[in-house]
Chains A and B, each alone.
Chain A
């Protein structure tokens, strides 16, 4: 014990503070310290789709467009493109049509994108060429690969200018059978010839690791016009397509990278695009050790991009415009540490070792309190540390779904609908938000979150099935109404007349952390209010997905994060042809209502405006009545920043915010030192205690030496 502590002490004397969770050498320089919870599986832009991967892909890859960092509502801005493209509509004969032409006439929608010249990829061995201009590392033997072992061991790297062909190449990669691109299903419908290409590639039998040169395949939907210009052709009108161009699926991938990584033997060293991305972004991934940390460093060849000089009205006051016009990025290096658990991460943030953090549910009371108006604010302790709180309602929804194919809760029968409505009334989402989300959420009145076109505030926006407007606010209907609905459905007091026992419903969930237990208990309590017994069936994630796909789940918790800020991206979750079971679409409840589907198709292609609002209102009325979801809530993201972090305006759409971020390392060092003074007197106590413990032993020994037999 003493040895351990004294070792710590000796070591600590050299480097204070003692409790720094990473080597302290770097904290004085322009390095941002952040965390990742789960190791990313895919960093290949064609297959990467999850939030934890976007943390890295967002900084490394550059799709043609991006969301403006400061402007709200979210606006698209050009990134590598010269401008945000407008589509040109053509009819079957290839004639140009006006933008307001009827949908069925439009047979082609053409987006022409011109990218800025002079953008270069970050240095990578795949680009390295010898004096003769041949790629140095495209024909390596196994032994050579084993010799190099890791990317940093390749002595030569190279770079190359970004061309339109790289974008076209990536679009073709979406059809690559081994990349299993998650958007192939959607894009295959729209991008001309993509599904044909996918089918063709799938039928070709080639080894998993072999290099497949996609440049040799014809893809009519994506064509290079000149070195800097390319054209994407859609088979129908799809106004939302432009939003996709801001996602990493459309980021350029150089064919050299594929050729490089496809060499046999690379995979055994974990050398693949999934682990070592190659992009044009402000950062490149220098270190990818998913067991410990991932390090992004500034891309030396990053093109000239400037901090925006206009934004929301309040941005100047909040200091977001201080660096207007400065060249991006500001930070040299971003260290992501693996933090699998919230608590250590939260504590390290409080100690000043991580620069920003979400608010851990269990640290919530410590950080946030609600003022008299019900608005969140920082607790005095936090405020004293000059921590900054940012709140943003996320364009997402978390809900409980009924499987509409289920024989008990699903279907169009009045019995089932009334049962669903009764449950929707009984499950007290407000309580759920306050217990499990610390109040960080807005109860949903329908699928559309605030901030998305079509969402209505106030009395006009409430879901009349579940809420009533009283005293100037939406109030959940009382439990008695739910019970009445249940009675009407044929389950008086929750008893199933066919069995005479309480109705048993099943909640399907994946097993996760300890916190889930109380959530499950809470669900059970909610259903018990109606006399219904809720059985939680937990399975692993894959099996759960499988169940969902086969339509075997009954009630489940589900959520949706907007891909882009458009109502279509939410309402399509209820669109019949997107049913999970029949098409493996995103309609997880398998809700199918022809009236809804027709209106949806109409709404989809309308521009924002009164007409669209009216259609959306009708759509909402339909689904509120049918009640395939318990509408749940729209989560709010609270994020905290230390005083030394600048330009951390929350942007729930953009994933590439790190390039705007700035830090003040000097302040950080000072604060860390101030907050982390070790309580050394404990060691003295421990030492004293150990010495005191020795005394009786010594006394005993002395006595024994002196003892006589009588």
Chain B
């Protein structure tokens, strides 16, 4: 029996993506916006960051589409990487290891037990003598992966050149062209990495395994969804609040402004972590009181994630609200707003048509910056025990576990490394993207005077 399953956070995440898509569709004819978005993408770091973000979003998106087959719910991502999911060892193993992490007593052929590192169930299983064959095999498969990646990249380049009407001979010019070089190099690295993973991961644990033998690469991939959902959904909960409070407060002033100011001063005066902690604890209690409403573990963990998003969203709106209010207060006296009032445009329409679109860049930039903050916050909240459900794959859980693992001897560093890289990739990309966006949308910082020597 196959039936699609949509968890609440899936719905929230996918509809958030849909909203982003709608936004781009809506601004597609706006030349100024198009030019600005082009600038964002043309900034080397911005373009590269956008590519990486797309990759993350794609993985998370795939992980949000689930089907239930014979009572087992799995996402498309699970199916795509099923070797990773299924290759479960007993306990730790290092990246590219053929043998386990810890010695075990292995019953010998003659009945005499000896103590040694056991062969892994899946890692490097295909090699008869791992110690001798491993290097060559990894190299061979790595080359194949690189080849695969390059092939894909070539196809991509050919397609782009075809669309641009460039001759096939100049196929690799994008890689050398100065303006788009970093973007293409990023694309190339992504292709290469994907190729390598596709060719190596079914045979080795590329990032090792964790305490119960799960492939760390799989955990890292699954964590992407958690991180993104947390960041994106929370931001999307924040937005309406900030907009609904911030823009009218700035525009109307008076008692509305007083009220909103009071609200956000009150909210922001509570230390952030504490507010989140109290709210999360309360929501957690609420969930526990209605535990029976969530039949499966997945639904429960998912509900907890949604609750966390809700908490982060409900506590995180003050910053953007304050910014919006200040910006609208400036815009309120802008002449086009005065003109609109003089034309008899009703206030609501002024808010929607004039103020909202002109503060949108602010909303976008703040949202992307907040997003990265939220992804980072997940790890900390998980440490404080108010983060995502322990059963859910997340970087916070990985880091948290990694603290203990690092204290082992030899240190188990790969979980930490994987979580570190996974997180750094996402947050760095988001931060760089926000930077590029700020440069493109808010070019206040350009044109500083200096002696003309440089």
Contact = CB atoms under 8 A, between A and B. Distances in A.
Q: Do A and B contact each other directly (Cβ–Cβ < 8 Å)? A: yes
Interface of A: 342-343, 346-347, 360-363, 365-366, 369-372, 374, 431, 434-435, 495, 501-502, 504, 511, 513-518, 520-522, 524-525, 533-540, 543, 704, 707-709
Interface in B376-424: 382, 385, 389-391, 397, 400-401, 403-405, 407-409
Interface in B242-287: 285
Given A518-B401, A707-B453, A435 B297 contact: no
Given A371-B115, A515-B211, A708-B453, 5 more contacts: A374-B105, A495-B71, A517-B401, A520-B391, A535-B295
B345 interface: no
B131 interface: no
Contacts, number: 103
Contacts of B71: 495, 501-502, 533
A435 B382 CA distance: 23
Contact of B211 (A518, A524, A525, A707): A518
B186 interface: no
B103 interface: yes
Given A514-B403, A517-B390, A372 B115 contact: yes
Given A369-B115, A502-B71, A525-B212, A346 B105 contact: no
B113 interface: yes
Given A343-B404, A435-B90, A514-B403, A535 B297 contact: yes
B330 interface: no
A435 B403 contact: no
Contact of B385 (A431, A511, A524, A534): A511
B390 A516 contact: yes
Contacts of A533: 71, 296-297
Contacts of B115: 369-372
Interface of B: 71, 90-91, 101-105, 112-115, 210-212, 214, 285, 288, 291, 295-297, 300, 382, 385, 389-391, 397, 400-401, 403-405, 407-409, 451-454
24 contacts: A361-B404, A362-B405, A365-B101, A365-B102, A365-B408, A365-B409, A370-B103, A435-B211, A502-B71, A514-B390, A514-B397, A514-B403, A515-B211, A515-B401, A515-B404, A517-B401, A518-B211, A521-B391, A524-B391, A533-B297, A535-B297, A536-B297, A538-B389, A539-B288
Contacts of A343: 403-404, 407
Nearest to B115: A372
Nearest to A438: B102
Contacts of B285: 540, 543
Nearest to B102: A365
Contacts of B300: 535, 537
Contacts of B452: 709
A516 B391 CA distance: 9
B407 A520 contact: no
A704 B403 contact: no
A524 B102 contact: no
A362 B404 contact: yes
Dominant SS among interface residues on chain B: loop
A6 to B, nearest CB: 28
A79 to B, nearest CB: 40
A707 B453 CA distance: 6
A538 B210 CA distance: 22
A520 B297 CA distance: 11
Contacts of B404: 342-343, 361-362, 514-515
Contacts of A534: 297
Contacts of B451: 704
A371 B403 CA distance: 28
A521 B391 CA distance: 7
A518 B210 contact: yes
A442 B434 CA distance: 57
- A-B pairs, 5 with minimum CB distance: A366-B409, A707-B453, A517-B390, A514-B400, A343-B407
Contacts of A362: 404-405, 407-408
B296 A535 contact: yes
B299 to A, nearest CB: 9
Contact of B113 (A347, A374, A495, A520): A374
B118 to A, nearest CB: 11
A362 B300 CA distance: 30
Given A346-B407, A360-B407, A533-B297, A704 B453 contact: yes
A514 B401 contact: yes
A491 to B, nearest CB: 13
A366 B405 CA distance: 12
A314 to B, nearest CB: 26
A493 to B, nearest CB: 10
A525 B210 CA distance: 15
Contact of B397 (A369, A517, A535): A517
Contacts of A704: 451, 453-454
Contacts of A707: 453-454
Contact of B408 (A366, A435, A515): A366
A60 B412 CA distance: 42
A431 B101 CA distance: 16
Nearest to A367: B409
B330 to A, nearest CB: 36
A348 to B, nearest CB: 11
Nearest to A362: B404
Contacts of B291: 537
A580 to B, nearest CB: 20
Given A360-B407, A511-B385, A504 B391 contact: no
A360 B391 CA distance: 23
A423 to B, nearest CB: 17
A628 to B, nearest CB: 24
A539 B389 CA distance: 11
A361 B408 CA distance: 9
A369 B115 CA distance: 9
A316 to B, nearest CB: 32
A371 B103 CA distance: 10
A536 B103 contact: no
Contacts of B389: 538
Nearest to A507: B297
A360 B406 CA distance: 13
Nearest to B304: A538
B212 A522 contact: yes
A519 to B, nearest CB: 9
A540 B285 CA distance: 9
Contacts of B114: 372
Nearest to B300: A535
A365 B101 CA distance: 10
A405 B222 CA distance: 38
B213 to A, nearest CB: 9
B389 to A, nearest CB: 8
Contacts of B391: 517, 520-521, 524, 536
Contacts of B385: 511
Nearest to A538: B390
A189 to B, nearest CB: 35
A709 B113 contact: no
A533 B294 CA distance: 13
Contacts of A342: 404
A251 to B, nearest CB: 36
Nearest to B392: A517
A370 B453 contact: no
* Residue from the set B113, B115, B212, B451 with the largest chain A CB neighbour count within 10 Å: B212
Contacts of A363: 407-409
B94 to A, nearest CB: 13
Given A346-B407, A709-B453, A372 B113 contact: yes
A347 B411 CA distance: 13
B211 A511 contact: no
A655 B105 CA distance: 35
A565 to B, nearest CB: 31
B418 to A, nearest CB: 15
Contacts of A366: 408-409
A520 B389 CA distance: 11
A517 B297 CA distance: 13
A709 B452 CA distance: 6
